[in-house]
Amino acid sequence: MVIHGWPGSFWEYFKSIPLLTEPVNDVAFEVIVPSIPGYGFSDAPQQQGFDVTQTARIFVQLMKRLNHNRFIVHGGDWGSMISRAMAVIYPQNVRGLHLTMAANPMDGFSMVKQAIGSYFPSLIFNEPEVEHKKLYPQWDKIKFIIRETGYMHLQSTKPDTIGAVLNDSPSGLAAYILEKFSTWTHPDNVNKHDGGLTEKFTLDELLTNIMIYWTSNNVVSSVRYYKESFLRFLELKVDSIPVTVPTAVCDFPQELMRTSQTLIKGLYKNLVQFSDMPRGGHFAAFEEPKLVVDDIRSFVQKVLKQEQSEANKPKSI
């Protein structure tokens, strides 16, 4: 199962699906690409309180109905939070967790470590993290996040206000979404007159994603998902519960929130693969489908070997 986020859709994976279903070394995948309820052509929730954990429950139930009681799950953006929740709440169903956005822990100790690492990187971070300046200089990272996350505050507090505006204007909806596909692909695109949009996507690809929101009339419910999920997610502290299933993380250099292997290893007890990707941003599978698919294949091979090793262990009497 692969799970999208906002302002993406199932369309983000149209280039990845053929690469996953095509046999390589006699291994091919059956790929399930659902829309988050309230996104794409999925019905919007009818009651308050439909959040990440409820989505996790529905998606696990969907897989069971498709006769997949155990499966690999991949996610980016909201998909990363949903798939992580699936692994935490339903570890008996999730064989492996593959993420392209794995947030660093937000507890006080981790925040102090990040602050120290901003001034004395080698004391906290490993050599590749120091070399690539993943999480420092800290102020530069904070300024970037402040610039790019105004939408998040708005959608988490007043979703119906912005939703009404987007639902009333196709050009407004296009501008709102395309701006994210510009600067979330590469922050330097903010200075380009065309936003650098066609450097990673075609206009037809971008317009298809916009039309999925417009024709489904689901943009209001998609932004409301922020209000329903954020506070609830923090209250339940799902993000701080360690994941025990085999996990892989792809860290893309232009991702909104970079991931540090040093900081997340306590949250992912069975981190079997961590990949520093050579290029790509927030919409990883849409921008660089082959990189993502190759990483998934590499991860699944390790999961299978780990399962075989566990199966071969002598059983205690």
Domain map (residue ranges) of the chain? 2-312
Residue 282 annotated among the catalytic residues of the structure = yes
Q: Which one is catalytic: 226, 251, 268, 295? A: 226
User: For residue 288, what are the CA distances in angstroms to 14, 19, 229, 281, 294?
Assistant: 12, 12, 28, 9, 10
Q: What are phi and psi of 219, to 5 degrees?
A: -65, -35
For residues 310 and 304, give the distance between their C-alpha atoms in angstroms, rounded to a whole number.
10
Task: Say whether pTM exceeds 0.85.
Answer: yes
List residues bridging with 275 in a β-sheet. Answer: 250
CB 94 within 8 A of CB 73: yes
pLDDT in tens, the chain (317 residues): 999 999 999 999 999 999 999 999 888 999 999 999 999 999 999 888 899 999 999 999 999 999 999 999 999 999 999 999 999 999 999 999 999 999 877 777 777 877 787 778 888 888 777 776 776 677 777 888 899 999 999 999 999 999 999 999 999 999 999 999 999 999 999 999 999 999 999 999 999 999 999 999 999 999 999 999 987 766 667 778 899 999 999 999 999 888 888 889 889 999 999 999 999 999 999 999 999 999 999 999 999 999 898 888 876 65
Residue 226 annotated among the catalytic residues of the structure = yes
Q: Of 213, 218, 151, 209, give the one whose Cα is nearest residue 183.
A: 151
CB 51 within 8 A of CB 232: yes
- Residue 18: other Cβ atoms inside 10 A: 11
CA angle centred on 99, ends 189 and 128, rounded to 5°:
70
Q: Which one is catalytic: 51, 77, 251, 295? A: 77
Q: Does domain 2-312 bear CATH number 3.40.50.1820?
A: yes
Q: Which one is catalytic: 4, 74, 98, 282? A: 282
